[in-house]
Amino acid sequence: MNHYVSVAIELVSGLFILFIMIKVIGRNQFSQITPFDFISALILGELVGNAVYDHETNLGEIIFAAFIWGLLIYTIELITQKFMKARKLLEGEPSIVILKGELKYQALKKAKMDINQLQSLIRQQGYFSFEEIEYAILETNGMVSVLPKSKYDIPRFNDLQLPEKSVHLPITLILDGEIVSVNLKESRLEKQWLLDELAKQGITDYKSVVYAEWKPNQPVYALQYEKK
Q: Which residues contact 184 (CB under 8 A, 6 or more apart)?
A: 173, 190, 191, 194
Same domain, yes or no: 99 and 71: no
Query: Is 162 inside a domain boundary?
Result: no
Query: Is 47 inside a domain boundary?
Result: yes
pLDDT-based confidence at residue 1 (cuts at 50, 70, 90): low
Amino acid found at 174: I
Contact, 137 vs 108, CB < 8 A?
no
Does residue 34 carry a pLDDT above 60? no
* pLDDT at residue 189, as a whole number: 92
CATH number where 184 lies? 3.30.240.20
Same domain, yes or no: 83 and 124: no
Q: Quote the domain boundaries for residue 114.
A: 95-152
* Backbone torsion region of residue 176, taken as left when φ is above 0, otherwise alpha when ψ lies between -120 and 50, otherwise beta: left
Q: What is the DSSP string of 81-131?
A: HH-HHHHHHHH---EEEEETTEE-HHHHHHTT--HHHHHHHHHTTT---GG
* pLDDT at residue 165, as a whole number: 78
* pLDDT at residue 36, as a whole number: 60
Query: Is 66 inside a domain boundary?
Result: yes
Which candidate, 145, 138, 144, places its Cα nearest to that of 106? 138
Same domain, yes or no: 14 and 63: yes
Strand ranges across the sheet with 133-138: 102-103, 95-99, 133-138, 144-148
d(CA 194, CA 206): 9
d(CA 82, CA 148): 33
Which candidate, 14, 15, 20, 2, places its Cα nearest to that of 62? 14
* pLDDT at residue 158, as a whole number: 77
Q: Which residues contact 191 (CB under 8 A, 6 or more apart)?
A: 179, 181, 184
Mean pLDDT of 133-151: 87
Mean pLDDT of 48-52: 62
What is the per-residue pLDDT across 165-174, written as a single tens digit (0 to 9) for each? 777 889 999 9
What is the per-residue pLDDT across 57-88, written as a single tens digit (0 to 9) for each? 666 766 777 677 777 777 777 777 777 676 66
Query: Is 138 inside a domain boundary?
Result: yes
Same domain, yes or no: 73 and 130: no
pLDDT-based confidence at residue 37 (cuts at 50, 70, 90): low
Mean pLDDT of 189-217: 93
Q: What is the pTM of this model?
A: 0.55
Does residue 41 carry a pLDDT above 70? no
Same domain, yes or no: 78 and 129: no
**Number of structural domains, the chain?**
3
Same domain, yes or no: 84 and 99: no
* Backbone torsion region of residue 102, taken as left when φ is above 0, otherwise alpha when ψ lies between -120 and 50, otherwise beta: beta
Work out the mean pLDDT of the chain and round it to a whole number.
Answer: 78
Point out the least confidently predicted range of 9-23, 65-79, 92-106: 9-23
Same domain, yes or no: 118 and 191: no
Same domain, yes or no: 112 and 73: no
What is the per-residue pLDDT across 175-202, written as a single tens digit (0 to 9) for each? 999 999 999 999 999 999 999 999 999 9
Point out the least confidently predicted range of 8-22, 91-105, 203-217: 8-22
Query: Is 160 inside a domain boundary?
Result: no
